[in-house]
């Protein structure tokens, strides 16, 4: 399930690079569930939040010298989750917040709308990455940790996404999935380097573009709303079904 949240401001919205962390803050502050924030859905040592979100859908002017984005007065983003109570909490409690501080901006909630879900009846669909899909491994090299980000043309990319999807499924349903997820890149995919947060920010590499997903329809519906790959609760791995 996914919803679209629209926010308004009396004037243009100015945000620093890495502003997705502010969208994440808005989500957690309105869901108001410490269990989800601190623990989440557990699989062995892994913890999953089972939600993802897009960046603002509207185009912004980027001021390179100041590293600022200038958005219009109205902005919106998409939030998705296979867990209904997460969606319901965010949608209902957002309306109780009269004024929202986004860095130096004062925003007001304008609208929350439920988006029509895709009708998935087959075991193969095509998707487009709305936000970069990210999977990585961390290695110890000369007493230093190094992070390697995989690209869609390496076999590890699809394998890690499949393993990640299976763990999310088992964390929620408490049993293994009945089918394995498979992912194949379609055409040209583009690398995206994203900064998350303005202070002590993370530099994260992911990939956008079109992909083919194969699994049973239940798994496809689940993973589309949960998000593909890692860092979904930081705004990575949101996808949409395309014809």
pLDDT tens digits along 208-220: 999 999 999 999 9
The mean pLDDT value of the chain amounts to 93
Beta strands in 12-116 (DSSP E): 13-16, 41-43, 46-48, 52-53, 61-63, 68-71, 74-80, 100-102, 105-114
pLDDT higher than threshold 90 for residue 144: no
> 2-114: which CATH architecture?
2-Layer Sandwich (3.30)
pLDDT at 145: 85
Beta strands in the chain (DSSP E): 2-8, 13-16, 41-43, 46-48, 52-53, 61-63, 68-71, 74-80, 100-102, 105-114, 124-129, 136-141, 144-149, 182-196, 202-214, 239-242
List Cα–Cα distances, 56 to 70, 95, 118, 233, in angstroms.
Answer: 12, 19, 21, 15
pLDDT tens digits along 69-115: 999 999 999 999 999 999 999 988 877 777 788 888 999 999 999 99
pLDDT tens digits along 169-188: 999 999 999 999 999 999 88
pLDDT at 67: 87
pTM: 0.93
pLDDT at 176: 96
What is the rounded average pLDDT of the residues 190-216? 92
> 124-242: which CATH architecture?
2-Layer Sandwich (3.30)
pLDDT at 157: 97
CATH 3.30.70.1890 domain range(s) in the chain: 2-114
């Amino acid at each position: 399930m996914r919803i679209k949240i629209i926010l308004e401001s009396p004037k243009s919205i100015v945000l620093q690079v890495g502003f997705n962390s502010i969208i994440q803050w808005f989500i957690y502050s309105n869901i108001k569930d410490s269990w989800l924030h601190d623990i989440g859905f557990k699989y062995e040592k892994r913890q999953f939040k089972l939600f993802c979100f897009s960046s603002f859908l509207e185009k912004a002017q980027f001021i390179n010298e100041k590293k600022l984005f200038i958005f219009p007065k109205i902005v919106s983003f998409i939030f998705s989750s296979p867990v209904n109570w997460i969606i319901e909490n965010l949608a209902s409690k957002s309306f109780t917040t009269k004024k929202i501080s986004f860095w130096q901006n004062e925003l007001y909630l304008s609208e929350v709308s439920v988006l029509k879900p895709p009708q998935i009846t087959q075991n193969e669909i095509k998707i487009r990455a709305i936000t970069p899909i990210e999977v990585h491994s961390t290695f110890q090299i000369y007493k230093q940790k190094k992070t390697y980000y995989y690209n869609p043309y390496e076999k590890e990319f699809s394998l890690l996404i499949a393993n990640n999807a299976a763990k999310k499924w088992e964390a929620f349903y408490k049993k293994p999935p009945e089918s394995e997820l498979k992912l194949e890149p379609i055409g040209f995919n583009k690398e995206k380097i994203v900064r998350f947060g303005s202070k002590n920010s993370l530099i994260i590499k992911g990939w956008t573009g079109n992909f083919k997903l194969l699994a049973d329809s239940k798994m496809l519906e689940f993973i589309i709303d949960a998000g593909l790959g890692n860092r979904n609760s930081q705004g990575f791995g949101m996808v949409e079904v395309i014809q």
